Amino acid sequence: MYNNGMDQNRLISNYRLLHRIPEPGFSEFKTQDFIIEHLSKINGIALHKAAGTGLLVYKPGKCGCRTIAFRADMDGLPLTEATGLEYASTHPGFMHACGHDGHMAILMELILSTRDSEFDNNLLFIFQPAEEGPGGAASIIKDDSFARFKPDAVYGLHVFPDLPSGCAASRKGPFFAGVREFILRFQGVEAHAATGSKRNSLLAAVNTVHSSLAKVNASIREPFLFHFGRFSSGVRVNIIAPEALVEGTMRVFCKKTRDRITRILTAEAMREAASRNLEMELQFRCEYPVLRNSGPETALAGSACRGAGLSFREHDPLYLGEDFAYYLEHIPGAFLLLGVHDNDCAGKLHTRDFCFNPSLLSSGVKLLREIALLEDARTGRMPDYQCKEP
């Protein structure tokens, strides 16, 4: 028996309270406590801490043949909020600028509103830390608690200000790009600009490497993005700097393309260092795989959108990175974008003024609820599945 007990006021209240307490990845202690406080009194579910500050909430099904997982990310971003909201961040230097507060509120309301409902499948609700880095999904997957539940399918969504409200979007196959971030460091000899050798200029070395990578665009047919995002060097206008630091990112939809760009970047940096008599260090970090949605689950999610009163669009691949991709390397599933653009929406993701109308979160609750119901119906058409005990 299914009972729709969604409470819009409770949903918005939880969203606003979560918005006030953004925390960095793997430090979501207040956030974890908040979720536990609101869910621990519900009968028929089990709460398990995972990956330090994460939380797994398990609701057994009537037959328990399959386990369907839903994920919400938890961490905030190191930005000083400029939304002017009455419920703005109370943590200086941090804000929820990527909608993770909304994702958690949706998942909490899904649990709260279905407390008296019975599903055929087991449901696993994943509150995951550190999506923004260094990859909390990988830590959840490695946790013994997660391995115990063995999900058969996994779903996630993300509020998206570039889509109108009343709309959701996804696509089968590659959806979000694989990410590899890097730190490039050149070290040379500090000298006065009038007496030092221009040959040893670290600024020139960085510029040459960047120009060389820009020329690669014509030789690689697969789509990719390569960007130098942060550059630090210099101590005074008339001094040749002793060190230059560059941080950047590459975004690809193919592992071979990522590896080729990595080889080119490494070779160009080594060549510049050798030609200018510089020391060079190149480090890679924060690697997320390509997010690849599986076909059947994407189709089911599209049907769920219509059942939830949302229009569904097939979206072009995006250069955004998302560690939900780690789940999809092990489990079939789908990741969706939930449109939140209307007159109350401001800013973009990862900006200080990002905000949206929290009443739109109810469509996310309805969408995940419909996915759970369609997965129940799907299980009923799978006679080969046997009940399993977690």
132 is catalytic: yes
Q: Measured between alpha carbons, how far is 112 from 106 in angstroms, rounded to an integer?
A: 10
Distances (CA, A) of 101 to 21, 31, 328: 9, 9, 23
- Which secondary structure element, helix H or strand E, spans residue 174, and what is its range? strand 173-176
CB within 8 Å of 177: residues ≥ 6 apart:
225, 251, 252, 253, 290, 291, 317, 318, 319, 320, 321
Which member of 132, 181, 297, 322 is catalytic?
132
Question: Closest Cα to residue 126, out of 333, 348, 363?
Answer: 333
CB atoms within 10 A of CB 160: 23
Residue type, 129: P
The answer to whether the beta carbons of residues 56 and 50 sit under 8 Å apart is yes
Which member of 23, 73, 272, 375 is catalytic?
73
The answer to whether the beta carbons of residues 281 and 163 sit under 8 Å apart is no
The answer to whether the beta carbons of residues 289 and 329 sit under 8 Å apart is yes
Q: Cα-flanking dihedrals φ and ψ of residue 155, to 5°?
A: -130, 150
Q: Which residues are catalytic?
A: 73, 132
